[in-house]
Each structure stands twice: as C-alpha cells, then as structure tokens.
Amino acid sequence: MNTARRLNVAIVGDTGVGKSSLVNAIFNDQRAATGIGAPVTEGAEYHVSHDGTVGVWDFGGFEHGGDVPPLDGLRERLAQIQSGSQDQAIAVAWFCWDASSARVTDGHRALIAALVNAGVPVVGVLTKVLRRGDAIKEEHSEFAQWIEGEDLGLADPQVYVTAVVADPDFGVEVHGLAQLLRATSALASAAPEELH
C-alpha cells in the first residue's frame, strides 16, 4: 500500500441522484450497483482504490418520510465511521443534487449541517448536468449558481457540475469529475490533520 495518507470521501444525497455512478467513475470500475426504481445502496458501502490512496463512502440515498429519518441515519452512521479506523475516517463529504431537481430542501440543509457539525467539510455537487462543448444547460447552470448564493455551510464556494455517464442522444457528455477530485484533494489537504 502507498504510504500516503488515504483521502476518504463520503458521497451523500437523495435517492437517485447518481452517487453510486460517481463511485464507479472515480474508480473507473463497476464497484457500486446502480439501477432504476428502488434504492440500490443501503446504509453506507466503503470502496478503496487499488493503491489504497482513495477511499469512498457511498451512502444510501436519503428518502424523506422513510422508516429511519435521514438525519438520524446519517448522524448514527457518521459517528460509527468517524470513531472507527482512522484509515476510513471521512475527510470531505460531497452533497449531491440531481441537476434536474432544482431544489434544496430543509432536509438537505439539516443533513449538510450535521456533516459540518461533525467536523466534515462539505462540497456541493450537481450531478447529471447536461453539457455540449463548453455550454451547460441554462437551468442547470442557474441551479448551481443559486446553490452557490445560499448559506448552506459548504466548505467550497463553488458547486461542482458533473456528469459521469455519457448519453450523446440527450446531450450528456462526461465532465467535471477531475475538477471535483482536485478541489476535494486540496480541501482535504488544507483541513486539520485529525480530519484525515
């Protein structure tokens, strides 16, 4: 294993926003199950890169009104992870929104606040963003800018626009992941040592 400290990222957000697709894109491998319909990931699954330098916590999608309130479930799982092995402790979290949702709920705000209160810096990520060339779909760009203007407690003022599954028929080009990973690494490096 590489002697460099492992960068551990938590990917959180509502069901269906594309968290598991982000996991698969990070590792360029089918690590996390994806699908249509019922939620695929339950709880939180941990994935590590082959060289051991990157770890990703893929949290099950939040379903408001489910058996376990999302905030309670996140707090419980986060406490377990952060008090466990330091090799798996979360350094940065990505809070993901589907670009087409154009909505930030009070539940999202509470979930982000729970992460921040636990000492985990949060980065905003917009998934499934339609882009052709350098042009991003106007509604998606406006949603990203709106989030950037809100006081959500995000550690990075930029919301990262991404698409990790190409669909040329609908104008979806893969983009944004490399920039998001660079920003995450820089944020984790600047964070207090005990967060790593």
> Between the ranges 34-38, 131-135, 160-164, where is the mean pLDDT highest?
160-164
Three-state DSSP state, 177: helix
Q: What are the pLDDT digits (tens) for 69-106?
A: 678 888 888 888 888 888 899 999 999 999 999 999 99
Does the pLDDT at position 196 exceed 80?
A: no
Identify the structural domains of the chain with CATH numbers, from first to last: 7-195 (3.40.50.300)
CB 30 within 8 A of CB 54: no
Mean pLDDT in residue range 149-173: 88
Residue 76 is encoded by which pair of tokens? 């419980």
Three-state DSSP state, 26: helix
pTM of the full predicted structure?
0.87
Q: What are the pLDDT digits (tens) for 101-130?
A: 999 999 899 999 999 999 999 999 999 998
CB 123 within 8 A of CB 190: no
